[in-house]
Amino acid sequence: MRKTVLTMILLALVTSCKNSKNETPQDHDLLIKGNDVIVPENNPVFKKIKTETVAEQEHSDGVVSAGTIQAIPNHYAEIASPFSGRITKSFIQLGQNISAGSPLFEILSSDYFSVQKDYTDALNDVQLAEKNYKRQQDLVKHGVGIQKELDEAETDFKNKKTSLSNASSALKVYNSKGGGIGRPLIVRAPISGEIISNKIVNGQYLKGDADPVMIIAELSKVWISGDVKEKDIRFVNTGDHVSVKVSAYPDRNITGKVYHINEIVDENTRSIKVLIECDNPDRKLKPGMYATVNFSTTPTRTIMIPVTALMQQDSSQYVWVKTGKNQFTKRSVTTGETDQKTVRITSGLKVGETIMTEGGIYMLDAK
């Protein structure tokens, strides 16, 4: 019995010593104390750690916006008939390049003839009023006229000239070149450009409120209308050069310039409309195409680190900063813009410090 008790005590002591030995840290374990960690050289993690010295790099804050290509308003014209009437002749065809003032089509319209009649009537009235005015002047000069009748003739002559001026202006709106009184109206091009739409059919009757029958556009330059988020508008300035990509030509490098920044924020999307002007000499950029616009700011020197160095804990971000031969400490940082490889650090790091760029995932126990 006594032998059995001694044996049990001996076994208990051996087990206790064995457990005590297991609880003692091995010389190759990670040594964790607060936010500091020591990685022994004989620990397998040591070979997986890579470090890098913090340095400043030139960096531009990029802003990406989706946009739509559109014709420049002053280089785009939808042509409709100013009067109801019948088209008697067409002078153009689809795809034709024309100059401002070129004839587009001829229309026979009673409404236009009324405008012509108003002009001829006003012209005749002026001629008669002028004759009466000169006659009254002559009568007064020879002492047989009445001053009151002369004054009335002068007033009537001035009024008739005003009416003629108005009628003449109305006629010139529709007949700046050619045509003439009694002839059909010739509708002319208001701008130079290409006929990109033509619905003219000889003999068709058009109403005065009909939809446009043709479109002229000058597309050597186009606008791209994009939306920039309110938080990013500080990076965009009038005159900035931008890079443009369209899905139709993925390998083509297109550059543009910020033409206008809207003064109003869209309250629904919290974005601001920005217009970019692009050269389009070969007419490859078509109105209605979608485009991706990359805005770039003036490069500044800032701290950039590899994204692999940045660690996440709850809502905060941190990096491992080297503080000794094999020692690192956890340091909270504030980040800015990021891309696929690097992230900008706005606070938390200084130039010349050394950080862990790979291996940080193995430090997750250091909390």
Q: Which residue segments constitute the domains of the chain, with CATH numbers given?
A: 31-58+301-363 (2.40.420.20), 64-74+219-300 (2.40.30.170), 80-216 (2.40.50.100)
Q: What is the pLDDT of residue 339?
A: 74
**Which of 261, 278, 366, 263 has its CA nearest to residue 321?**
366
Q: What is the pLDDT of residue 334?
A: 93
Instruction: Return the SS3 of 249.
Output: strand
Q: What is the pLDDT of residue 13?
A: 41
pTM of the model: 0.58
Which residues neighbour 122 within 8 Å (Cβ) at sequence distance 6 or greater? 160, 163, 164, 166, 167, 168
Q: What is the pLDDT of residue 33?
A: 84
Phi and psi, residue 150, nearest 5°: -65, -45
- Is there a contact between 39 and 328 (Cβ–Cβ < 8 Å)? yes
| CA–CA distance, 347 with 336 (Å, rounded to integer) | 9
Q: What is the pLDDT of residue 266?
A: 92
Instruction: Return the SS3 of 358.
Output: strand
The two three-digit tokens of residue 306, written as one number = 């590899």
| CA–CA distance, 227 with 236 (Å, rounded to integer) | 11
**Which of 246, 280, 273 has its CA nearest to residue 258?**
273
Tell me which residues of the chain have a pLDDT lower than 50.
1-25, 176-178, 366-367
Please tell me the chain's helix, strand, coil percentages from 3-state DSSP, rounded to the nearest 5.
Answer: 30, 40, 30
Residue 297, classified by CB atoms within 10 Å of its CB into exposed (0-12), middle (13-18) or buried (19+), is middle
Q: Which pLDDT tens digit goes with each residue over 88-110?
A: 999 999 999 999 999 999 999 88
